[in-house]
């Protein structure tokens, strides 16, 4: 990258938000975020973990607004993994309660922003009241088309892959397809949301650098971006930094870059 190009993405350290020429940013169609660090955020303030999750849920609204500003079409967030059931019962209860509360409380704002809500995960494995919340939020937001917010709840990438295999195995058993004819496309068609494009960029705040069973199949060629900021503090500055980094990436999908 030339020094001229670098200067277009320069940051003025005293300002909170990076000063950039937004017209030079490459905007991903789909970003996915692992909302990590709620517990540490609360601990730093000597608050209970539940306060961290509440702050994290509030920050999801900010993320949607900020992604809307950049014209990002799909935003997937990791809200509850298939492994999170192993947390203390009281914490699982808090997360379920927050989930139920969230879509009623923020629906007017989601409507105003034109945000459709969808869910990904083993939804059938959730308690009935949670399944009803998912159904209501999806049905009530179907008409919105500015952005789609996908909430991964009771989600595990490995479980999603296993469930896709089960659906295909059933089709083989019923004689509808031949096992030897199964392709990557057919496999992808049996994942939770086959019509959603793969994430271009996966962001993980909080200093951890792993993807923790998130979008295992869909994220095969996603760019990864990590930040030390804890999720409840992840704002416009961090999103913009992620987009600046994404703009500089050379996505080759196993091929060669255009200059070669």
Which sequence positions are flagged as catalytic? 36, 84
Among 37, 121, 156, 219, binds ligand FPP (CB under 6 A): 37
Quick check: 147 and 74 in contact, CB under 8 A?
yes
Least Å distance, CB 43 to ligand FPP, is 7
Of 9 and 80, the one with the shorter C-beta distance to ligand FPP is 80
Least Å distance, CB 203 to ligand FPP, is 13
SS3 percent helix, strand, coil of the chain, rounded to 5, is: 50, 15, 40
CA distance 28 to 160: 24
Residue 156 sits in the site that holds ligand FPP (CB under 6 A): no
Q: Work out the angle between the directed axes of helices 128-141 and 89-112 (0-180°, nearest 10).
A: 10
Choices 35-43, 158-166, 213-221, 251-259; region in contact with ligand FPP by CB under 6 A: 35-43
CA distance 235 to 70: 13
Residues 63-102 that bind ligand FPP (CB under 6 A): 79, 84, 95, 98-99, 102
Strand pairing partners for 75?
A: 31, 149
Of 6 and 208, the one with the shorter C-beta distance to ligand FPP is 208
Check residue 177 and report its DSSP letter.
S
- Positions in the binding site for ligand FPP (CB under 6 A): 35-40, 53, 56-57, 60, 79, 84, 95, 98-99, 102, 151
């Amino acid at each position: 990258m030339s020094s001229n190009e670098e200067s277009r993405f320069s940051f003025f350290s005293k300002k909170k938000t990076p000063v950039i020429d937004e017209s030079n940013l490459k905007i991903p169609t789909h970003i996915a975020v692992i909302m990590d660090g709620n517990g540490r955020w609360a601990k730093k303030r000597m608050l209970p973990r539940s306060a961290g999750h509440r702050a994290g849920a509030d920050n999801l609204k900010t993320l949607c607004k900020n992604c809307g500003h950049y014209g990002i079409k799909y935003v997937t967030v990791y809200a509850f993994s298939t492994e999170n059931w192993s947390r203390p019962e009281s914490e699982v209860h808090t997360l379920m309660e927050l989930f139920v509360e969230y879509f009623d409380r923020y629906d007017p704002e989601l409507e105003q922003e034109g945000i459709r809500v969808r869910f990904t995960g083993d939804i059938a494995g959730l308690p009935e009241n949670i399944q009803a919340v998912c159904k209501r939020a999806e049905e009530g937001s179907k008409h919105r088309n500015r952005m789609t917010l996908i909430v991964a709840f009771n989600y595990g990438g490995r479980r999603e892959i296993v469930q896709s295999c089960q659906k295909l195995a059933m089709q083989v058993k019923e004689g509808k397809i031949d096992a030897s004819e199964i392709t990557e496309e057919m496999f992808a068609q049996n994942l939770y949301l086959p019509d959603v494009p793969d994430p271009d960029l996966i962001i993980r705040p909080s200093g951890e650098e792993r993807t923790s069973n998130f979008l295992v199949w869909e994220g095969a060629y996603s760019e990864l971006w990590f930040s030390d900021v804890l999720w409840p503090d992840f704002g416009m500055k961090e999103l913009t930094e992620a987009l600046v980094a994404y703009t500089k990436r050379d996505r080759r999908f196993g091929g060669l870059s255009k200059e070669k």
